[in-house]
A = this chain, B = another copy of it.
Protein backbone atom coordinates (compact mmCIF):
# COMPACT_ATOMS: atom_id res chain seq x y z
CA UNK A 1 0.00 0.00 0.00
CA UNK A 2 1.31 3.41 -0.89
CA UNK A 3 1.67 5.70 2.12
CA UNK A 4 0.23 9.17 1.72
CA UNK A 5 -0.35 10.44 5.19
CA UNK A 6 1.14 9.43 8.52
CA UNK A 7 0.52 10.57 12.05
CA UNK A 8 3.13 11.14 14.74
CA UNK A 9 2.64 11.53 18.45
CA UNK A 10 4.76 11.80 21.60
CA UNK A 11 3.69 10.29 24.93
CA UNK A 12 4.82 10.24 28.54
CA UNK A 13 7.23 12.63 30.24
CA UNK A 14 9.06 15.01 27.95
CA UNK A 15 12.65 14.21 27.11
CA UNK A 16 15.45 16.04 25.24
CA UNK A 17 15.58 14.51 21.77
CA UNK A 18 11.86 14.31 21.02
CA UNK A 19 12.00 17.30 18.68
CA UNK A 20 14.95 15.85 16.72
CA UNK A 21 12.90 12.68 16.16
CA UNK A 22 9.87 14.67 15.01
CA UNK A 23 12.04 16.78 12.71
CA UNK A 24 13.69 13.76 11.11
CA UNK A 25 10.31 12.07 10.58
CA UNK A 26 8.96 15.18 8.88
CA UNK A 27 12.02 15.63 6.66
CA UNK A 28 12.24 11.98 5.67
CA UNK A 29 8.46 11.73 5.11
CA UNK A 30 8.32 14.86 2.98
CA UNK A 31 11.21 13.57 0.87
CA UNK A 32 8.86 10.69 0.06
CA UNK A 33 5.94 12.98 -0.66
CA UNK A 34 4.03 11.98 2.45
CA UNK A 35 1.98 14.30 4.59
CA UNK A 36 2.61 14.31 8.34
CA UNK A 37 -0.14 14.95 10.84
CA UNK A 38 0.96 15.90 14.36
CA UNK A 39 -1.31 14.33 16.98
CA UNK A 40 -1.46 16.67 19.96
CA UNK A 41 -0.71 15.95 23.61
CA UNK A 42 0.01 12.23 23.29
CA UNK A 43 -3.24 10.40 22.50
CA UNK A 44 -5.46 13.38 23.33
CA UNK A 45 -5.56 14.50 19.75
CA UNK A 46 -6.59 11.01 18.69
CA UNK A 47 -9.24 10.57 21.34
CA UNK A 48 -10.95 13.90 20.82
CA UNK A 49 -10.80 15.50 17.39
CA UNK A 50 -12.21 18.72 18.80
CA UNK A 51 -9.59 18.89 21.53
CA UNK A 52 -7.65 22.11 21.15
CA UNK A 53 -4.33 22.66 22.81
CA UNK A 54 -1.81 25.22 21.54
CA UNK A 55 0.02 22.27 19.99
CA UNK A 56 -3.05 21.47 17.93
CA UNK A 57 -3.74 18.47 15.71
CA UNK A 58 -2.17 19.86 12.60
CA UNK A 59 -0.19 19.14 9.48
CA UNK A 60 3.51 19.52 10.23
CA UNK A 61 5.42 21.03 7.34
CA UNK A 62 9.12 21.23 6.68
CA UNK A 63 8.98 24.87 7.74
CA UNK A 64 7.46 23.88 11.10
CA UNK A 65 10.53 21.87 12.03
CA UNK A 66 13.12 24.52 11.17
CA UNK A 67 15.08 25.31 14.32
CA UNK A 68 13.61 22.58 16.54
CA UNK A 69 16.61 20.24 16.40
CA UNK A 70 18.21 22.13 19.25
CA UNK A 71 15.09 22.57 21.36
CA UNK A 72 14.09 20.47 24.37
CA UNK A 73 10.50 19.35 24.93
CA UNK A 74 8.14 18.36 22.14
CA UNK A 75 6.32 20.64 19.72
CA UNK A 76 3.45 18.10 19.67
CA UNK A 77 2.80 18.35 23.39
CA UNK A 78 2.67 15.30 25.60
CA UNK A 79 0.84 13.96 28.60
CA UNK A 80 1.23 11.39 31.34
CA UNK A 81 -2.51 10.68 31.35
CA UNK A 82 -3.14 9.29 27.93
CA UNK A 83 -4.13 5.64 28.17
CA UNK A 84 -7.32 5.31 26.05
CA UNK A 85 -8.24 2.16 27.95
CA UNK A 86 -8.08 4.03 31.23
CA UNK A 87 -8.73 7.59 30.21
CA UNK A 88 -9.05 10.04 33.08
CA UNK A 89 -12.16 12.19 32.98
CA UNK A 90 -13.90 14.31 35.51
CA UNK A 91 -17.40 13.27 36.51
CA UNK A 92 -19.42 15.01 39.19
CA UNK A 93 -16.25 16.73 40.39
CA UNK A 94 -14.45 13.40 40.82
CA UNK A 95 -11.78 11.88 38.61
CA UNK A 96 -12.69 8.56 37.08
CA UNK A 97 -11.41 6.48 34.15
CA UNK A 98 -13.27 5.29 31.09
CA UNK A 99 -12.41 3.25 27.98
CA UNK A 100 -12.22 5.48 24.91
CA UNK A 101 -10.10 3.14 22.80
CA UNK A 102 -12.85 2.55 20.24
CA UNK A 103 -13.12 6.30 19.62
CA UNK A 104 -9.38 6.54 19.19
CA UNK A 105 -9.36 3.74 16.63
CA UNK A 106 -12.28 5.33 14.80
CA UNK A 107 -10.52 8.72 14.73
CA UNK A 108 -7.35 7.14 13.39
CA UNK A 109 -9.37 6.14 10.34
CA UNK A 110 -11.32 9.40 10.20
CA UNK A 111 -8.01 11.29 10.08
CA UNK A 112 -7.08 9.26 7.03
CA UNK A 113 -3.86 7.97 8.50
CA UNK A 114 -1.98 5.25 6.62
CA UNK A 115 0.31 4.71 9.58
CA UNK A 116 1.20 6.18 12.94
CA UNK A 117 4.59 6.66 14.57
CA UNK A 118 4.33 6.58 18.33
CA UNK A 119 7.26 7.98 20.28
CA UNK A 120 7.09 7.04 23.91
CA UNK A 121 8.10 4.89 26.83
CA UNK A 122 6.91 1.66 28.31
CA UNK A 123 3.35 2.91 28.76
CA UNK A 124 3.08 4.32 25.25
CA UNK A 125 4.43 1.08 23.76
CA UNK A 126 1.81 -0.96 25.64
CA UNK A 127 -0.87 1.26 24.18
CA UNK A 128 0.74 1.00 20.75
CA UNK A 129 0.68 -2.79 21.00
CA UNK A 130 -3.02 -2.77 21.88
CA UNK A 131 -3.72 -0.45 18.95
CA UNK A 132 -1.77 -2.81 16.67
CA UNK A 133 -3.91 -5.66 17.89
CA UNK A 134 -6.94 -3.63 16.77
CA UNK A 135 -5.47 -3.20 13.29
CA UNK A 136 -3.75 0.16 13.48
CA UNK A 137 -0.42 0.39 11.65
CA UNK A 138 2.05 1.59 14.20
CA UNK A 139 5.83 1.92 14.35
CA UNK A 140 7.31 2.71 17.76
CA UNK A 141 10.22 4.90 18.77
CA UNK A 142 11.54 4.23 22.29
CA UNK A 143 11.71 7.14 24.69
CA UNK A 144 12.97 6.86 28.24
CA UNK A 145 15.23 9.37 29.88
CA UNK A 146 16.19 6.66 32.39
CA UNK A 147 17.62 4.35 29.69
CA UNK A 148 15.70 1.46 31.22
CA UNK A 149 14.24 -0.14 28.09
CA UNK A 150 16.19 -3.35 27.52
CA UNK A 151 15.17 -3.66 23.89
CA UNK A 152 17.53 -0.90 22.78
CA UNK A 153 21.12 -0.15 23.76
CA UNK A 154 20.37 3.42 24.62
CA UNK A 155 17.74 6.12 24.23
CA UNK A 156 17.87 9.85 23.55
CA UNK A 157 17.60 12.18 26.51
CA UNK A 158 19.73 10.03 28.75
CA UNK A 159 23.05 11.66 27.84
CA UNK A 160 21.51 15.12 28.26
CA UNK A 161 20.15 14.20 31.68
CA UNK A 162 23.49 12.75 32.81
CA UNK A 163 25.30 15.88 31.57
CA UNK A 164 22.84 18.04 33.51
CA UNK A 165 23.43 16.01 36.68
CA UNK A 166 27.21 16.11 36.13
CA UNK A 167 27.17 19.90 35.73
CA UNK A 168 25.21 20.10 38.99
CA UNK A 169 27.78 17.92 40.76
CA UNK A 170 30.62 20.10 39.48
CA UNK A 171 28.86 23.04 41.11
CA UNK A 172 28.22 21.25 44.40
CA UNK A 173 31.91 20.36 44.65
CA UNK A 174 32.83 24.04 45.02
CA UNK A 175 30.56 24.57 48.00
CA UNK A 176 31.27 21.19 49.58
CA UNK A 177 35.01 21.79 49.56
CA UNK A 178 34.78 25.41 50.70
CA UNK A 179 32.46 24.62 53.62
CA UNK A 180 33.57 21.07 54.52
CA UNK A 181 30.09 19.79 53.93
CA UNK A 182 28.32 16.66 52.82
CA UNK A 183 26.28 17.56 49.74
CA UNK A 184 23.60 15.24 48.36
CA UNK A 185 22.09 15.44 44.92
CA UNK A 186 18.89 13.59 44.07
CA UNK A 187 18.54 12.63 40.43
CA UNK A 188 15.90 10.76 38.42
CA UNK A 189 15.62 6.98 38.52
CA UNK A 190 12.68 5.39 40.26
CA UNK A 191 13.47 1.81 39.26
CA UNK A 192 16.79 2.10 37.44
CA UNK A 193 19.88 3.86 38.73
CA UNK A 194 21.59 4.52 35.36
CA UNK A 195 21.50 8.32 35.63
CA UNK A 196 22.76 8.25 39.20
CA UNK A 197 25.56 5.79 38.41
CA UNK A 198 26.74 7.66 35.33
CA UNK A 199 26.54 11.03 37.09
CA UNK A 200 28.47 9.69 40.08
CA UNK A 201 31.23 8.44 37.78
CA UNK A 202 31.35 11.66 35.76
CA UNK A 203 30.79 14.07 38.63
CA UNK A 204 33.39 12.73 41.05
CA UNK A 205 30.92 11.58 43.68
CA UNK A 206 32.06 9.58 46.69
CA UNK A 207 28.81 7.76 47.36
CA UNK A 208 26.13 6.60 44.94
CA UNK A 209 22.78 5.19 46.06
CA UNK A 210 20.66 3.36 43.49
CA UNK A 211 17.55 1.19 43.63
CA UNK A 212 19.44 -1.89 42.42
CA UNK A 213 21.87 -1.85 45.37
CA UNK A 214 20.02 -1.24 48.65
CA UNK A 215 22.11 0.70 51.16
CA UNK A 216 22.58 0.76 54.91
CA UNK A 217 23.32 3.95 56.83
CA UNK A 218 26.34 2.61 58.71
CA UNK A 219 28.65 2.16 55.68
CA UNK A 220 27.74 5.66 54.48
CA UNK A 221 28.72 7.18 57.79
CA UNK A 222 31.92 5.16 57.77
CA UNK A 223 32.83 6.27 54.26
CA UNK A 224 32.31 9.95 55.08
CA UNK A 225 34.24 9.68 58.34
CA UNK A 226 37.06 7.86 56.62
CA UNK A 227 37.29 10.59 54.00
CA UNK A 228 37.45 13.19 56.75
CA UNK A 229 40.18 11.24 58.54
CA UNK A 230 42.17 11.22 55.29
CA UNK A 231 42.04 14.99 54.94
CA UNK A 232 38.89 15.33 52.88
CA UNK A 233 36.23 16.61 55.29
CA UNK A 234 33.61 16.86 52.56
CA UNK A 235 31.72 14.32 50.51
CA UNK A 236 29.47 14.29 47.48
CA UNK A 237 26.55 11.85 47.40
CA UNK A 238 24.35 11.05 44.40
CA UNK A 239 20.95 9.59 45.27
CA UNK A 240 18.57 8.08 42.71
CA UNK A 241 14.96 8.95 43.56
CA UNK A 242 14.29 5.22 43.96
CA UNK A 243 17.21 4.57 46.33
CA UNK A 244 16.19 2.44 49.29
CA UNK A 245 17.64 0.87 52.40
CA UNK A 246 18.13 -2.87 52.72
CA UNK A 247 14.95 -4.59 53.76
CA UNK A 248 14.09 -4.06 57.36
CA UNK A 249 16.50 -1.21 58.01
CA UNK A 250 14.53 1.75 59.31
CA UNK A 251 16.45 4.99 59.39
CA UNK A 252 16.16 7.90 61.73
CA UNK A 253 14.47 9.69 58.84
CA UNK A 254 11.74 7.07 58.67
CA UNK A 255 10.88 7.76 62.24
CA UNK A 256 10.99 11.54 62.06
CA UNK A 257 8.94 11.85 58.93
CA UNK A 258 6.65 8.99 59.56
CA UNK A 259 3.52 10.99 58.97
CA UNK A 260 4.32 12.77 55.69
CA UNK A 261 6.60 10.44 53.84
CA UNK A 262 5.47 11.23 50.33
CA UNK A 263 6.51 14.85 50.66
CA UNK A 264 10.09 13.76 51.26
CA UNK A 265 12.44 12.74 48.52
CA UNK A 266 15.06 10.04 48.73
CA UNK A 267 17.89 12.54 49.25
CA UNK A 268 16.08 14.32 52.05
CA UNK A 269 15.64 11.00 53.81
CA UNK A 270 19.34 10.18 53.47
CA UNK A 271 20.11 13.68 54.70
CA UNK A 272 18.02 13.19 57.84
CA UNK A 273 19.47 9.74 58.33
CA UNK A 274 23.08 10.92 58.16
CA UNK A 275 23.00 14.09 60.21
CA UNK A 276 22.79 12.60 63.70
CA UNK A 277 25.90 10.54 62.99
CA UNK A 278 28.18 13.27 61.66
CA UNK A 279 29.74 16.47 62.93
CA UNK A 280 29.39 17.96 59.48
CA UNK A 281 26.68 19.96 57.79
CA UNK A 282 24.66 17.79 55.42
CA UNK A 283 22.61 19.46 52.69
CA UNK A 284 20.52 18.06 49.88
CA UNK A 285 19.44 19.39 46.50
CA UNK A 286 16.86 17.80 44.22
CA UNK A 287 17.60 18.28 40.54
CA UNK A 288 13.99 17.57 39.61
CA UNK A 289 12.61 18.94 36.38
CA UNK A 290 15.90 20.54 35.39
CA UNK A 291 16.96 17.10 34.13
CA UNK A 292 14.09 16.87 31.64
CA UNK A 293 14.42 20.16 29.83
CA UNK A 294 17.25 21.85 28.04
CA UNK A 295 18.73 21.71 24.59
CA UNK A 296 19.66 18.10 23.83
CA UNK A 297 23.40 17.33 23.75
CA UNK A 298 24.77 16.38 20.34
CA UNK A 299 24.52 12.64 21.02
CA UNK A 300 20.80 12.84 21.67
CA UNK A 301 20.19 15.06 18.65
CA UNK A 302 21.94 12.52 16.44
CA UNK A 303 20.25 9.50 17.99
CA UNK A 304 16.86 11.18 17.74
CA UNK A 305 17.53 11.98 14.08
CA UNK A 306 18.55 8.40 13.34
CA UNK A 307 15.46 7.04 15.09
CA UNK A 308 13.21 9.39 13.15
CA UNK A 309 14.68 8.42 9.79
CA UNK A 310 14.51 4.74 10.71
CA UNK A 311 10.89 5.02 11.80
CA UNK A 312 9.90 6.44 8.43
CA UNK A 313 11.79 3.66 6.69
CA UNK A 314 10.04 1.09 8.88
CA UNK A 315 6.70 2.57 7.85
CA UNK A 316 7.78 2.42 4.22
CA UNK A 317 8.81 -1.20 4.62
CA UNK A 318 5.53 -2.06 6.31
CA UNK A 319 7.22 -3.10 9.54
CA UNK A 320 4.21 -2.35 11.72
CA UNK A 321 4.12 -3.53 15.30
CA UNK A 322 7.84 -2.98 15.48
CA UNK A 323 9.96 -0.43 17.32
CA UNK A 324 13.24 1.08 16.15
CA UNK A 325 16.19 0.20 18.34
CA UNK A 326 19.94 0.78 18.58
CA UNK A 327 21.97 -2.41 18.73
CA UNK A 328 25.75 -2.20 18.82
CA UNK A 329 25.76 1.26 17.17
CA UNK A 330 23.44 0.21 14.33
CA UNK A 331 19.73 0.95 14.05
CA UNK A 332 17.44 -2.03 13.69
CA UNK A 333 13.86 -2.87 14.63
CA UNK A 334 12.39 -5.19 17.29
CA UNK A 335 8.82 -6.26 18.02
CA UNK A 336 7.05 -3.66 20.19
CA UNK A 337 6.03 -6.53 22.42
CA UNK A 338 9.69 -7.19 23.25
CA UNK A 339 10.20 -3.60 24.26
CA UNK A 340 7.52 -3.81 26.90
CA UNK A 341 8.68 -6.99 28.46
CA UNK A 342 12.01 -6.34 29.96
CA UNK A 343 13.39 -3.37 31.85
CA UNK A 344 17.12 -2.66 31.84
CA UNK A 345 18.43 -2.22 35.36
CA UNK A 346 21.94 -1.46 36.56
CA UNK A 347 23.79 -4.74 36.94
CA UNK A 348 25.26 -4.75 40.43
CA UNK A 349 28.07 -7.00 39.15
CA UNK A 350 28.51 -5.15 35.86
CA UNK A 351 31.50 -3.26 34.52
CA UNK A 352 30.23 0.20 35.39
CA UNK A 353 29.57 -0.54 39.05
CA UNK A 354 32.93 -2.28 39.15
CA UNK A 355 34.67 0.78 37.64
CA UNK A 356 32.89 3.00 40.15
CA UNK A 357 34.03 0.88 43.08
CA UNK A 358 37.56 0.87 41.63
CA UNK A 359 37.79 4.65 41.86
CA UNK A 360 36.48 4.59 45.41
CA UNK A 361 32.76 5.19 45.02
CA UNK A 362 30.74 3.53 47.79
CA UNK A 363 27.27 2.12 47.16
CA UNK A 364 26.48 1.89 50.85
CA UNK A 365 26.26 -1.87 50.76
CA UNK A 366 29.59 -2.75 52.32
The answer on a CB contact under 8 Å between A14 and B293 is no
With A14-B179, A53-B180 known to touch, is A297 a contact of B163 (CB < 8 Å)? Answer: yes
The answer on a CB contact under 8 Å between B73 and A180 is no
**Any chain B CB within 8 A of the CB of A210?**
no
Which of these, B166, B172, B183, contacts A298 with CB under 8 Å? B166
Which of these, B77, B79, B289, B329, contacts A171 with CB under 8 Å? B289
| A360 / chain B contacts, CB cutoff of 8 Å | 27, 31
**Any chain B CB within 8 A of the CB of A174?**
yes
| A233 / chain B contacts, CB cutoff of 8 Å | 53-54
CB-nearest residue of chain B to A163: B298
**Any chain B CB within 8 A of the CB of A245?**
no
With A53-B233, A202-B298 known to touch, is A177 a contact of B73 (CB < 8 Å)? Answer: yes
**Any chain B CB within 8 A of the CB of A70?**
yes
0/1 interface trace, chain A 277-300, chain B, CB 8 Å (1 if under): 000000101101110111101110
Most chain B CB atoms below 10 A, which of A179, A295, A299, A312: A179
**Any chain B CB within 8 A of the CB of A349?**
no
| A16 / chain B contacts, CB cutoff of 8 Å | 174
| A163 / chain B contacts, CB cutoff of 8 Å | 297-298
> In whole angstroms, how far apart are the Cα atoms of A145 and B283 in the complex?
19
The smallest C-beta distance from A362 to any residue of chain B, in angstroms, reads: 13
Beta-carbon contacts under 8 Å, A44-91 to B: 53-54, 63, 66-67, 69-74, 77-80
Beta-carbon contacts under 8 Å, A329-348 to B: 329-331
The smallest C-beta distance from A298 to any residue of chain B, in angstroms, reads: 4
Count residues of chain A with CB under 8 A from any CB of chain B: 85
| A166 / chain B contacts, CB cutoff of 8 Å | 298, 301
The smallest C-beta distance from A176 to any residue of chain B, in angstroms, reads: 8
> In whole angstroms, how far apart are the Cα atoms of A73 and B18 in the complex?
25
The answer on a CB contact under 8 Å between A202 and B170 is no
CB-nearest residue of chain B to A173: B293
Most chain B CB atoms below 10 A, which of A14, A198, A302, A330: A302
| A24 / chain B contacts, CB cutoff of 8 Å | 355, 358-359
The answer on a CB contact under 8 Å between A171 and B355 is no
The smallest C-beta distance from A234 to any residue of chain B, in angstroms, reads: 9
> In whole angstroms, how far apart are the Cα atoms of A198 and B302 in the complex?
7
**Any chain B CB within 8 A of the CB of A220?**
no
The answer on a CB contact under 8 Å between B175 and A77 is no
The smallest C-beta distance from A54 to any residue of chain B, in angstroms, reads: 5
Which of these, B28, B53, B67, contacts A358 with CB under 8 Å? B28
The answer on a CB contact under 8 Å between A302 and B202 is yes
- The contact sample of 7 A-B pairs, CB cut-off 8 A, is A14-B174, A27-B358, A69-B204, A73-B177, A166-B298, A173-B293, A305-B355
Taking A77-B179, A159-B299, A175-B293 as given, write out 11 further A-B residue pairs in contact, using a Cβ cutoff of 8 Å, ordered by the A residue number.
A14-B175, A28-B359, A67-B173, A79-B179, A170-B295, A174-B294, A201-B302, A202-B298, A285-B290, A305-B359, A306-B352
> 9 nearest interchain CB pairs?
A171-B293, A72-B174, A73-B174, A174-B293, A202-B298, A73-B178, A14-B178, A285-B288, A166-B298
